[in-house]
Chain A
Amino acid sequence: MLDLILILGIMLSTAGLVGAPFMHRPRPCREDDTSASLNADLLLQKDTLYTAIRDLEFDFQTGKVDQQDYAELRQHLEREAVHVLRLLDALDP
């Protein structure tokens, strides 16, 4: 008898748990917003570029990258980083 009550309890709790979202108006997700998603993408790009610049600097200082390659790559990465920062500014002036 106790088993039966427990089983019924488990089934009812599960039904309540999965059915609850239909009872309330669902909260909108933060990332449903296109601009929030774009913002996150740009932040990720910025993070990746900053990391790449730091890595390049470190590789240069430890002698893994030649002066010429370093200057060329650094310029390229900085240009990309500036572009991403401008896009971020445009998103939220």
Chain B
Amino acid sequence: MNDIGAYALRCACVVALYAVSMALLGVRLGRQEMIRSAERATYGVFGLVSIAMLALLYALLTHDFHLRYVANVSNRAMPTFYVMAALWGGQEGSMLLWLWILALYSALVVAQHRFRSRALVPYMMATLMLTALLFLTMLIIAEDPFQRLPQAPRDGRGLNPLLQHPLMVLHPPMLYLGFVGLTIPFAFGIGALASGHLDNHWLRSVRRWTLVPWLLLTVGILLGSQWAYVELGWGGYWAWDPVENASLMPWLTGTAFLHSVMMQEKKGMLKVWNMALVILMYLLAIFGTFLTRSGVIASVHAFAQSSLGTYFLLYLAGALVVAVVLLLKRLPQLRSDHRLESVLSRESSFLFNNLFLVGIMFVVLWGTLFPILSEAVRGVKISVAAPFFNQINVPLGLALLFLSGVCPLIAWRKASPHNLRRHFLYPLTLAFLATAVLYTVGMRQIMALIALAICLFASGTIVLEFYRGTRVHWLSSRVTVVQAFLTLIRRNRRRYGGYIIHFGVVLIFLGITGSSAYQIEQDLVLRPGASAVVGTFTLQFTQMTSVLQPTYEGVLATIQVSRHGRQLTTLYPEKRLYFAQNQPTTEVALRTSLFDDLYIILAGFEPSGVATFKVFVNPLVLWLWIGGLVIVMGTIIVLWPQRSAARTGDRRAPVSVGTVSASEESF
């Protein structure tokens, strides 16, 4: 079975090369059968990589420790659930998953375009299969998951205990689905540039193909943050770690693109900028993969040192050169149809939104690359810590949030002072009044107050948008308010789904503000029976218990938690030592609520029974995860199919301008 996996990968490499050659030759010679053959080769690559995936999964499930990979990432004591997750728990397996997702997307996009955008398809296939070739080459030459050991050990080393967590089973596939998905917009972009078909057709397809990976990347990033929060035990969820940054950069660029693409669809503006964003998204996705896998940066999330860096850098350089040359060649065809008429317009708010998003992306890129650059220039690796990122990104992020409140209320082309007064009066008044109340009750941190004021302003504008839209529907048709509200969303999924996404972002900002500005951190040294007060919580350490399990041994502290004399819960922070890896871990004890999280880590203990605890009270963290769910809900609404004349081919479909309907704005 292992031989089958190894051969399937080699065969996939040949077939991918064949697909690239046939696609490009077919378009050059005008031979349809060659292009069709390249399409089938794309399906073939998917089939072959699937066989390799199944072969590796089979080896893991049957504990075939002849394979170096299986021996490194699994053992007999691991539950089947984690044995399956070990498929992407190591470098080779996760690269195979990357490749499989790419092959799956490629097959889907080719199948979807059997009868449309035919001029773009050969170039798209060539781009996708070239990316597949990069990963196939690395898997065959440098990181072979089917490499055999001279002698099979009796048992494997097992998966890193930190990765044996339900969130870690979901986080990597989600992140890869997002990362890899950004290859598709790039393939569309290269297809449009190479074929010269730069009309809005490619843009329509690419918008959906960006939104899906963007959603998956969002979920992947949030799952990763949640894992870091509950598993790494340092009290936070985001540390501006290089690998975290690697996932954030394409997300920021993708967010910018999803906004600026509307400018091109509606106004024929920002064509070069959009193409540049599509290229940047792809390069950042590959660059992020390079950062995680090459070993150039130290991170808790990164894989070990490897020889993959050269492959990635060569490929990145090649992709950049090809994309830039094509872009320069097509510049005359990418001129804007309209110019910006006023600074007070929705166009300019989109423009600023893009500048802030890309600005944050470059700050993150600079901070991530700084240790590498400083080592290359001065021979000393200087790491850039969280204060650098926060100092620049917090104001930019708040400005962005403010724009998310401004944008929905401002008109296209130009807004009059009267309109601005009319639309911003209520949200601004709400924000000022609420901030004044918060200041009066004792909140004194200026940045936190500004953040909360902007959160309120943005929420106010969103609520106002829903109110005004519902009111117009309700007045123009004889339905109930609820029906008018639902019709509003159903008829205008892009606009109102987008507002829901914005509301999710507001909730995330609320969570970040609460947990970063008002976090309480305290070290406690307690004897059994002793109590201490942290924030509004009273913690009583009652006892320490030893634990022995098949894969680990540990100690478990029991802590009674009460507030104002009322018993709330019992928490069990724990320290473990995993036998197979000889690795100690800290299991966080967490009590979560809408207002705050109580987060306890067992930092140490003495034979006398005295234990040291690190305790955090993190306000409003739960809103961060709720915000994530709201974003998912909003994106699903945006993605829900809506009939259009172009898609249905209905040439004389009437436009019901009398019964009011709006669409196609947010996202």
Q: Does B593 contact A (CB under 8 A)?
A: no
Task: Indicate if the CB atoms of B1 and A3 lie closer than 8 Å.
Answer: yes
Task: Indicate if the CB atoms of A21 and B115 lie closer than 8 Å.
Answer: no
Determine chain B's interface SS by DSSP, over half rule: helix
- Within 8 Å CB of B34, what residues of A? 21
CB within 8 A of A31: which of B18, B116, B422, B662? B116
Q: Does A48 contact B (CB under 8 A)?
A: yes
Q: Select from chain A the residue with minimum beta-carbon distance to B1.
A: A3
Task: Indicate if the CB atoms of A55 and B651 lie closer than 8 Å.
Answer: no
Chain A 1-24 per-residue mask, 1 if CB under 8 angstroms from chain B, else 0: 001001100110010011111100
A19–B44 alpha-carbon span in the complex (Å) = 11
Q: Select from chain A the residue with minimum beta-carbon distance to B647.
A: A47
Task: Indicate if the CB atoms of B37 and A19 lie closer than 8 Å.
Answer: yes
**How far apart are A13's CB and chain B's nearest CB, in angstroms?**
8
Q: Select from chain A the residue with minimum beta-carbon distance to B43.
A: A17
- Within 8 Å CB of B429, what residues of A? none
**How far apart are B174's CB and chain A's nearest CB, in angstroms?**
30
Task: Indicate if the CB atoms of B51 and A10 lie closer than 8 Å.
Answer: yes
Contact status of A43 and B646, CB under 8 A, knowing A22-B37, A30-B115, A59-B662:
yes
Task: Indicate if the CB atoms of A69 and B200 lie closer than 8 Å.
Answer: no
Task: Indicate if the CB atoms of A63 and B419 lie closer than 8 Å.
Answer: yes
Task: Indicate if the CB atoms of A14 and B663 lie closer than 8 Å.
Answer: no
Interface residues of B in 82-128 (CB under 8 A from A): 115-119
Contact status of A20 and B657, CB under 8 A, knowing A31-B115, A52-B266:
no
Task: Indicate if the CB atoms of A53 and B416 lie closer than 8 Å.
Answer: no
Task: Indicate if the CB atoms of B266 and A64 lie closer than 8 Å.
Answer: no
Task: Indicate if the CB atoms of B646 and A18 lie closer than 8 Å.
Answer: no
A21–B7 alpha-carbon span in the complex (Å) = 25
Task: Indicate if the CB atoms of A61 and B200 lie closer than 8 Å.
Answer: no
A46–B648 alpha-carbon span in the complex (Å) = 12
**How far apart are A38's CB and chain B's nearest CB, in angstroms?**
11
Q: Select from chain A the residue with minimum beta-carbon distance to B200.
A: A44
- Within 8 Å CB of A28, what residues of B? 32
A73–B341 alpha-carbon span in the complex (Å) = 14
- Within 8 Å CB of A30, what residues of B? 115-116
Q: Does B201 contact A (CB under 8 A)?
A: yes
Of B350-358, B405-413, B622-630, the one with at least 4 CB within 8 A of chain A: B405-413
Q: Does B4 contact A (CB under 8 A)?
A: yes
Give the contact-size bracket for chain B.
Answer: 35 or more
Task: Indicate if the CB atoms of A40 and B657 lie closer than 8 Å.
Answer: no
Task: Indicate if the CB atoms of A18 and B18 lie closer than 8 Å.
Answer: yes
A53–B657 alpha-carbon span in the complex (Å) = 7
Contact status of A50 and B655, CB under 8 A, knowing A14-B44, A41-B199:
yes
Q: Does B3 contact A (CB under 8 A)?
A: yes
- Within 8 Å CB of A32, what residues of B? 118
Task: Indicate if the CB atoms of B4 and A3 lie closer than 8 Å.
Answer: yes
Q: Does B48 contact A (CB under 8 A)?
A: yes
- Within 8 Å CB of B265, what residues of A? 48
Task: Indicate if the CB atoms of B37 and A54 lie closer than 8 Å.
Answer: no
Q: Does B11 contact A (CB under 8 A)?
A: yes
Q: Does B15 contact A (CB under 8 A)?
A: yes
A14–B19 alpha-carbon span in the complex (Å) = 12
Q: Select from chain B the residue with minimum beta-carbon distance to A63.
A: B422
Task: Indicate if the CB atoms of A10 and B48 lie closer than 8 Å.
Answer: yes
**How far apart are A59's CB and chain B's nearest CB, in angstroms?**
6
**How far apart are A48's CB and chain B's nearest CB, in angstroms?**
7
**How far apart are A57's CB and chain B's nearest CB, in angstroms?**
5
Identify the interface centre among B119, B409, B411, B649: most chain A CB within 10 Å of its CB.
Answer: B411
Q: Does B41 contact A (CB under 8 A)?
A: yes
**How far apart are A32's CB and chain B's nearest CB, in angstroms?**
7
A66–B652 alpha-carbon span in the complex (Å) = 30
Q: Count of chain A residues with Cβ under 8 Å from any Cβ of B?
A: 47
Q: Does A26 contact B (CB under 8 A)?
A: yes
- Within 8 Å CB of B201, what residues of A? 40-41, 44
- Within 8 Å CB of A65, what residues of B? 411-412, 419
A61–B471 alpha-carbon span in the complex (Å) = 10
CB within 8 A of A54: which of B11, B418, B653, B655? B655
Chain B 642-667 per-residue mask, 1 if CB under 8 angstroms from chain A, else 0: 00111101011101110011111100
CB within 8 A of A53: which of B3, B199, B649, B655? B655
CB within 8 A of A26: which of B33, B418, B419? B33
Task: Indicate if the CB atoms of A47 and B644 lie closer than 8 Å.
Answer: yes
Q: Does B36 contact A (CB under 8 A)?
A: yes
Q: Select from chain A the residue with minimum beta-carbon distance to B649.
A: A43
A93–B156 alpha-carbon span in the complex (Å) = 73
Interface residues of B in 446-483 (CB under 8 A from A): 468-469, 472, 476
Q: Does B527 contact A (CB under 8 A)?
A: no
Task: Indicate if the CB atoms of A48 and B266 lie closer than 8 Å.
Answer: yes
A57–B492 alpha-carbon span in the complex (Å) = 13
A20–B422 alpha-carbon span in the complex (Å) = 66
CB within 8 A of B4: which of A6, A20, A52? A6
Task: Indicate if the CB atoms of A44 and B661 lie closer than 8 Å.
Answer: no
Interface residues of B in 24-47 (CB under 8 A from A): 32-34, 36-37, 40-41, 43-44, 47
Contact status of A54 and B661, CB under 8 A, knowing A22-B33, A31-B116, A31-B118:
yes
Q: Select from chain B the residue with minimum beta-carbon distance to A62.
A: B468
Task: Indicate if the CB atoms of A18 and B15 lie closer than 8 Å.
Answer: yes
Task: Indicate if the CB atoms of B118 and A29 lie closer than 8 Å.
Answer: yes
**How far apart are B598's CB and chain A's nearest CB, in angstroms?**
45
- Within 8 Å CB of A7, what residues of B? 3-4, 7
Contact status of A18 and B44, CB under 8 A, knowing A7-B4, A66-B416:
yes
- Within 8 Å CB of A31, what residues of B? 115-119
Task: Indicate if the CB atoms of A14 and B412 lie closer than 8 Å.
Answer: no
A30–B116 alpha-carbon span in the complex (Å) = 8
A53–B660 alpha-carbon span in the complex (Å) = 10
- Within 8 Å CB of B645, what residues of A? 43, 46-47, 50
Q: Select from chain A the residue with minimum beta-carbon distance to B31.
A: A26
**How far apart are A63's CB and chain B's nearest CB, in angstroms?**
6
- Within 8 Å CB of B653, what residues of A? 50
Beyond A29-B32, A46-B646, 20 extra complex contacts between A and B, CB < 8 Å: A10-B4, A14-B47, A14-B48, A21-B40, A22-B37, A29-B118, A31-B116, A31-B117, A43-B646, A47-B647, A48-B200, A50-B653, A57-B657, A58-B662, A62-B469, A62-B472, A63-B419, A63-B422, A64-B409, A64-B423
A-B contact pairs, 23 of them (CB 8 A): A6-B4, A14-B47, A17-B40, A20-B37, A22-B33, A26-B36, A29-B32, A29-B115, A31-B119, A40-B646, A43-B646, A50-B655, A53-B657, A57-B660, A58-B660, A59-B412, A59-B662, A61-B476, A62-B472, A63-B422, A69-B413, A69-B414, A81-B655
Shortest beta-carbon contacts, A-B, top 10: A58-B662, A21-B36, A50-B655, A47-B646, A26-B32, A43-B646, A44-B646, A64-B411, A62-B468, A21-B33
